[in-house]
Amino acid sequence: MSQYTQPHQPQQPYAPTQTPGTRPARNGLGISALVLGIIGTVSGLIPFFFWLAGILGLIALILGLAGRGRAKRGEATNKGVTTFGAVLGLVSVILSVVGAVLTFKAVDDVVTDINKAVEDTSASAKPAAGGGAAGGTEGKGETLAAGDSAAYDDGLEVTVGDPASYTADEFAIGHTKGNSAYTVSVVIENKGKEKFDATLVSVDARAGEDGVNAEQIFDGTVGEGFTGTVLPGKKVTAKYAFDVPADAKNLTVEVGPGFEWDASQWDLKL
C-alpha cells in the first residue's frame, strides 16, 4: 500500500519590519525670525517708525531664540538663518530705542521753539529825561508819551519822538489831499547781548479820538523803515510819515519789535 505524502510547503518569509519615516525639518521659526528681523531693521532706519521696529524686532528675537532651540534638538536644519534672524531682531530693538530717544528729543526741541516764539517779551515804561507822561513809574501795558522808551526784558529799548509836520511830494503814496502829514522818528537801541534783527519791526498809527487808521506815507524821503541787524550796544533810527485827518489832535503810534516782543504804544500830541 503506497502512502501518499503531501509535498513540503515552503515557509513564507517574514515581512521586514518597516522603518519609521524621517520627520520633516521644522524651519518655520528661523525663516519668520529672519523676515521680521529684516523688516524691523529697515523700519528702525526710517524716522518715526521706531515703534514698528521695536515690535517686529522683539518678535524676531523671540522666534530666533526658539528656532535655535529646535536646531539644537535636531528638529530644524537652518541654525544659521535662525541665528541671523535673532541678531537682526536685537538690532531692530536697539534701533527702536535710539529712534525713540531722537524722536522725543526732536519733538521736545520743536515744542520749546514754539513756546519761545509764542511767549512775548514784555516791556516796561522808561520816561524821557526830565519826566514825561508816564510820571516816572515803570508799568507794563501803559501808553507812553513822546520821548519815552519801552524797555524790554532782553535789553531792547524803543523810543518814539515828537511828531513833526511834513510836506509829502507830489509822487507820494498814502497821502490824501486835504489831510495833514506828520513824521515820527523811531529809535531802537540794543542794550542786550544778542544781535537784533530790525527787519521785522512794525510801525502803525491811528489818529484822532476815533482812532482812524493813519496810513503810512511813502515817497522819496520817508517810508523805507528799518532794515538790517542792530548789534549789541548799537542803535538805529528810522523816520515814518503818516497821513492824518486835518482836525486830528493826537496820533497813537504802535511799535512792535517782532513776533517775540509785545507791541508798545505812544500817544503823541499834534
Looking at residue 18, what is its pLDDT?
45
Looking at residue 26, what is its pLDDT?
85
Average pLDDT of the segment spanning 207-218: 91
Looking at residue 148, what is its pLDDT?
94
Instruction: Give the C-alpha separation, 68 to 29, whole Å.
Output: 9
Looking at residue 24, what is its pLDDT?
82
Looking at residue 169, what is its pLDDT?
86
> Which stretch of 80-89, 94-103, 125-134, 208-217 has the lowest confidence by average pLDDT?
125-134
Average pLDDT of the segment spanning 133-143: 47
Looking at residue 12, what is its pLDDT?
52
Average pLDDT of the segment spanning 198-212: 91
User: pLDDT tens across 147-167, in order?
Assistant: 999 999 889 999 999 999 999
User: pLDDT tens across 40-79, in order?
Assistant: 999 989 988 989 999 999 999 999 899 888 888 888 888 8
Looking at residue 183, what is its pLDDT?
94
Looking at residue 47, what is its pLDDT?
82
Grid cell 515817497 in the structure block, residue:
219
- Would the pLDDT of 4 be above 80? no
Looking at residue 170, what is its pLDDT?
83
Q: ∠ at Cα 205 (260, 175), nearest 5°? A: 135
User: pLDDT tens across 218-256, in order?
Assistant: 988 888 889 999 999 999 999 999 999 999 999 999 999
Residue count (the chain): 270
Residue 152 backbone phi and psi in degrees, to 5 = -95, 160
- Would the pLDDT of 13 be above 70? no
Between the two ends of the chain, the Cα-to-Cα distance in Å is 168
Work out the percent of the chain whose per-residue pLDDT is above 90: 51
Looking at residue 122, what is its pLDDT?
58
Instruction: Give the C-alpha separation, 231 to 178, whole Å.
Output: 41
More confident residue, 133 or 202: 202
Work out the percent of the chain whose per-residue pLDDT is above 70: 82
- Would the pLDDT of 128 be above 80? no
- Would the pLDDT of 97 be above 60? yes
Instruction: Give the C-alpha separation, 156 to 149, whole Å.
Output: 10
Q: Band of the pLDDT at 87, cuts 50, 70, 90?
A: very high
Q: Band of the pLDDT at 139, cuts 50, 70, 90?
A: very low
